[in-house]
Structures are given as C-alpha cells and as structure tokens.
Amino acid sequence: MRVGSRVNDRPECGGKVTSASVRSMEGGSMSTVPTTQGQVRVHIRWMIRRDMPEVLAIEHAGFEYPWCEEEFLRVLRQRNCIGMVAEYGERVVGFMIYELHKNKLHVLDFATHPEFRRMGVGRQMLGKLVGKLSSHRRTRIALHVRETNLAAQFFYRVQGFRAMEVLREHYSDTGEDAYLMTYMLDESIIEDHVPANRIAKQFDNN
C-alpha cells in the first residue's frame, strides 16, 4: 500500500499559489510517536530547507504527477502551511504538508519512502497530526483521495477517517473524482450527517 498517495489536487509546476511569509521551513523539534513491535520508530520534526532533496525523491517515487521543488517552496511560504518529516536515523523516510484552518487541519501532501511503506511510518505521522487537534479549536483533519486510489482509501479508513463527500472531476490532470475524507476528534458530531457514497458503501460491505 502506498501511504504516499496524493491527497489533494495541487497546481502544476509554475502554477499560482498565494504566497505569504515563510513559516514551515524554519525547523525545530517535534517528538517521537510510540510504535508497536515489528515497526520502525521514527522521529517526527518540522521540515527544513535541507530536507528538500530527500523529500523530492520520495515525492517522485510515489506520485505519477509529482510536485517540483518550486511548488513545494511556494506552498511552504504560505503562512498557514506546515511541513513535517519522519526521520529514521539520519534519513528522511516520510513527509507531510498540511494547512492550518480555523476549525480544521487540511492535508495537502503525504508520502513515505518506498522502502519504508507498511512499517508504521504513515501511521505515526497521522498520529502526530491527530495529537494537534483540540475540542476547543481544530476538531478535524480533512484530505482528498483519488477515486482510483483504493490503497490510500483503505489506509485512511483504518486510521479513523470517514468518506464524507464525492467531489466530481476534482483532479484537473485526469478529470478524476475525489473523496473528501475526514477524521473527527468527536465522531458523534458527524454520526447523523454522513452522506451515502460509493466508498462508504464499499467499506461498510466489507
């Protein structure tokens, strides 16, 4: 399974993204998320400029339509965009870029190195993000998944995300539909408001 599936529609290289002051490239330490036996334990920290070669390598290994360095830098200059990496030893083995909104966190890009997939890296990074939620402020995590990316859909479902909406022809590169998937800090908030869609029916029938 590729925990490195594109989770949002993003501009082509050279496309316009509103820029703001640099925040997410400043660096700094986060923490290590506990993991279960048999999986690698990674250190999760803020993304810094010198991580970019390894991040780009993971991006190109994981996506058919990868971002270029210009796109990464343009997005990360926005005030509400944060980058973090998962480090194993001195090696970057995963990364995530997400946006801060008033009531939610929105994942833009999320990938793990091919050699470290199915080893708990993606789960630990999502666990770090879930730890940033608060019942008094940001209560949910949102992301988009391509309709054909069944592996990513299953991974997020296992991590507690639920399909909330089908976004028709969301991806400009292929015209493919997307699923809006959401993790809620308190699932009782959405229990009676989940729309029926193909992915939800698929998982409910399994």
Position 203 scores a pLDDT of 52
pLDDT in the model for residue 64: 85
**% pLDDT > 90, the chain:** 63
Q: How is residue 62 annotated by DSSP?
A: H
Q: Is there a contact between 32 and 133 (Cβ–Cβ < 8 Å)?
A: no
**Which one-letter DSSP state was computed for residue 116?**
G
> Which of 35-49, 61-75, 122-136, 137-151 bottoms out in mean pLDDT, i.e. has the lowest?
35-49
Greater confidence, 206 or 124? 124
At residue 87, does pLDDT exceed 90? yes
Instruction: Read off the pLDDT band of 206 (50, 70, 90).
Output: low
pLDDT tens column, 23-66 = 233 333 344 444 554 689 999 999 999 999 999 999 999 888 89
Cα dihedral 112/130/141/4 (nearest 10):
10
Handedness of CA 140, 51, 124, 118 (dihedral sign): positive
Say yes or no to pLDDT of 6 above 80. Answer: no
d(CA 157, CA 164) in angstroms, rounded, equals 12
Q: Considering the chain, what is the average pLDDT of its residues?
A: 80
Is the CATH number of domain 29-204 3.40.630.30?
yes
Strand-pair partners of 143: 181
pTM for this entry: 0.75
- How, if at all, do strands 81-88 and 91-100 pair? antiparallel
62: left (phi > 0), else alpha (psi -120 to 50), else beta?
alpha
Query: Residue 8 pLDDT more than 80?
Result: no
Rounded mean pLDDT of 7-21? 39
The closest of 135, 41, 141 to 96, measured between CA atoms, is 141
Whether the pLDDT of residue 130 is over 90: the answer is yes
pLDDT band at 173 (very low <50, low <70, confident <90, very high): confident
Using a pLDDT cut of 70, give the percent of the chain over it. Answer: 72
Q: Are 85 and 47 in contact (CB under 8 A)?
A: yes
> C-alpha distances in angstroms, 24 versus 51, 62, 72, 182?
12, 22, 11, 23
- According to the model, what pLDDT value does residue 59 have? 96
Query: Of 9-23, 39-53, 160-174, which gets the smallest average pLDDT?
Result: 9-23
